[in-house]
Structure 1
Amino acid sequence: MNKVEQQNGDIKAGTPFSPEPPFTLQQLKAAIPAHCFVPSTWRSLSYFFLDIGIVAGLYAGAHYLDSWFVWPVFWLLAGTMFWALFVVGHDCGHGSFSRLKWLNNLIGHLAHTPILVPFHGWRISHRTHHNNTGNIDTDESWYPVTESKYRQMAWWEKFLRFEPVLLFAYPLYLFRRSPERPGASHFMPDSPLFRPTEKWDVITSTICCALMVGFLGFLTYQNGWLFLLKYYLGPYLVFVVWLDLVTFLHHTEPDIPWYRGKDWYFLKGALSTIDRDYGVINNIHHNIGTHVAHHIFIGIPHYHLKTATEALKPVLGDFYRCSNQPILKAFWNSYRSCHFVSDQGGLVYYRSESTIDVK
């Protein structure tokens, strides 16, 4: 995509700029090998059982060594594998794990319930995110606030949204969505996130999470709070950081466009994301960094996303965004420069707080 310069929230042409993709969704699909759209149930299951096996091995090793030199390392490794399990459940939520709906729901719950994610509640709101990516008014995750809203936000709202504490925000999001769009719990069937026909799906996942909380409570009662910290809270917090960090990085960048009203449609929104390189962790994270292809075609299993991305690049051209910046540096840059967007305009970009008084 041709680059643009931002001045006071307006888009000023640096070179001729056209936000309209010169290709269609059908042309993009035709560029991808047909096998990329076909999930292999056995291959998908192999990733799930491999992740479970690694997690079990980490728990066995940490329990055997039981040393405070080991526990922080265990938290980092196990929390990273919790995130890998989340990505497997993510495929289940999109139906790209298997063509068997009952298996997607079963594995989705087995992958998400231990990490306290209500599978159906998350699946449904995540569907909303994919259907509205890049739409300021209707996107579901990491959408920007407007300048006027930013000016009105209480200090604690800014603290939760724009300080590093945002990397621990996911549990709060599940219960309350966000300060800008409150009252939408992922656990309650009457939440505005859900349709009436989805009531029992939501209840099923909420019951599963409640049973998991009860199980953790029982273990804590039997073994004490230190046991809970060592065996669960440590890796769980690492998982939460991974989830928030990855989601933030894929949708927060100064040159990613956001749209309003008639200026938005699905393909433009799907292109409003960016691929990231997580280095040696790419495979552990099941190619979640190949986010552009995933947003365009959610039915591609994670193990075909690299092939699909390479096939799409020649067609996408400058509309394909990819960053090879070290992850922490990328987070810092976006954290410092992406605070709000202009109140008006069909095409807008993130601006920094440092520009708020520039007229």
Structure 2
Amino acid sequence: MVATQRTSSSVVEEAQTDMTHTDSAQFIVPNFTDVVLLSIIVYAATYIPSVVEAAFLLSFALWNTYWFWSGLVGTGLWTINNAVGWVIHSALGVPYHSWRISHGRHHAATGHIARDEVFVPRSRDQLKYPKFDENKEDIEGLNVAKERQLELAEAIGDAPLFVLVNLLSQQLLGYPMYLIRNASGQKTYPKFTNHFNPDSVIFDKRHRNQIIASDVGIALLFAALGTWTHYRSFAEVATYYLVPYLWVNHWLVSITFLQHTDPFLPHYSNSLWTFPRGALATIDRNCLGFIGPVLLHGICETHVSHHISSKIPHYNAWKATDALKEFLGPHYQKRDDNFIAALYRTYRDCRFVDEGLEVVFFKNASGVAQMKGKFEGGSVSDSGVDMSADGKAKTN
């Protein structure tokens, strides 16, 4: 069976039958394995101070090894859990139901410029960048005078060190700031929108008790950390918990950012957005070799299928992804470049969008975009490859 012989309805039907069936044993075992693995890593780390007291460099290397791997395992635990979500997410500093609800809203509006929940592109005006100059640049960002590119790059900042410092800020503080003050979230929301206020615009009245329960979970975490600090020391808390916590945040922000941000990914206006278009405005990526498929349970490699049907459990997402690759052909987005290099490059090349277009693509600091929306027969194709009514791909 080839892509041109399959219909969209067959993909949907397949996604909603055997692949959405949850096998409790397959679902819980990775959860349990992650807990055991993380416990072993933490237990092993307790021997670092006594084993290498006199060897600073060895101690430094071992602590960094502990922080790196505990952060990865903690991220894997974060991404697949649901059955005991409140307990584990609270332990990882995440208000579970608050996140679950906003994540559901994100799935319902992925790629919508005015309704998506996270990593929503900022416009030139929102960022207070230099105003659009129709005499030196086109609105799509494909024809920008060299003089104008230099002007924009100087005003916005594209020096490697500047980009790196801002990227590190996103990686260290991005997720807590998203929860606390809606950083990188939907800018149409009121000021002070956050994930802890039951009256936040993100939630409705039926969610109130769930948000309060999530806040209680975070309060219990702070109480536990305070007790730990009182009876032991803040240094111990920082060493065993806070640094791995920052690593977990780093991986979560990296993964989410790269799943939804790329110069070739479109974002749609209200008049053109549809659920299928939004779901396909995501990217699968190869995450650090075996780490993505094993420790992170394929969250990077199977994200497109997750947006097509979020009910597909992680162990069936590989099958769903293979089906999508076959059906979508050139519309399927996948990147195999180095994950860390992609993080820097994407942050550098995706700086802002311009308003006034039905389909927008990111521009870099010089105001240059790598893609444009293409209108054919009164409809828009974001990829330059249109799809006929019978689901067969046709090229221009």
TM-score (ref. length: structure 1)? 0.84
Distance 1:33 1:141, change over 3 A: closer
Which deviations, in whole Å up to 9, do the C-alpha atoms of 1:24-76 show, x marking residues without a partner?
75332235583211011122111111110011101110012335342221111
1:284 aligns with 2:300: no
1:61 aligns with 2:60: no
Cα distance in 2 for residues equivalent to 1:328 and 1:231:
25
Q: Secondary structure at the match of 1:122?
A: helix
Cα distance in 1 for residues equivalent to 2:359 and 2:353:
10
More helix by percentage: 1
Alignment correspondent of 2:245: 236
Which deviations, in whole Å up to 9, do the C-alpha atoms of 1:245-265 show, x marking residues without a partner?
001100110000110011101
Tell me if structure 2 keeps the 8 A contact 1:32–1:312: no
Which deviations, in whole Å up to 9, do the C-alpha atoms of 1:89-127 show, x marking residues without a partner?
3xx2xxxxxxxxxxx3xx111221110101100000101
Tell me if structure 2 keeps the 8 A contact 1:339–1:352: yes
Cα distance in 2 for residues equivalent to 1:38 and 1:27:
17
Cα distance in 2 for residues equivalent to 1:117 and 1:24:
40
Q: 2:180 aligns with which of 163, 175, 178?
A: 175
1:165 aligns with 2:177: no
Cα distance in 1 for residues equivalent to 2:308 and 2:255:
18
Identity of aligned residues (%): 32
Alignment correspondent of 1:35: 18
How much has 1:341 moved relative to structure 2? Answer: 1.1
TM-score (ref. length: structure 2)? 0.76
1:87 aligns with 2:92: no
Q: 1:355 aligns with which of 367, 379, 382?
A: 367
How much has 1:159 moved relative to structure 2? Answer: 8.7
Structure 1 or 2, whichever has the larger Rg, is 2
Alignment correspondent of 2:385: none
Alignment correspondent of 1:101: none
Alignment correspondent of 1:114: 91
Q: Which amino acid in 2 is paired with 1:286? A: H
Tell me if structure 2 keeps the 8 A contact 1:51–1:85: yes
Distance 1:76 1:87, change over 3 A: same
Cα distance in 1 for residues equivalent to 2:221 and 2:367:
46
Tell me if structure 1 keeps the 8 A contact 2:15–2:312: no
Tell me if structure 2 keeps the 8 A contact 1:187–1:202: yes
Cα distance in 2 for residues equivalent to 1:344 and 1:53:
52
Structure 2: give runs of 5+ residues left out of the alignment.
Answer: 53-58, 131-154, 157-161, 369-396
1:342 aligns with 2:372: no
Which deviations, in whole Å up to 9, do the C-alpha atoms of 1:337-357 show, x marking residues without a partner?
10111111111100011127x
Alignment correspondent of 2:275: 266
Distance 1:300 1:336, change over 3 A: same
Between Structure 1 and Structure 2, how many residues are aligned?
320
Q: Secondary structure at the match of 2:348?
A: helix
How much has 1:23 moved relative to structure 2? Answer: 8.3
Structure 1: give runs of 5+ residues left out of the alignment.
Answer: 1-21, 93-103
- Name the stretch that deviates more: 144-153 or 127-136: 144-153
Q: Secondary structure at the match of 2:26?
A: helix
Cα distance in 2 for residues equivalent to 1:25 and 1:142:
28
Q: 2:230 aligns with which of 218, 221, 227?
A: 221
1:71 aligns with 2:63: yes
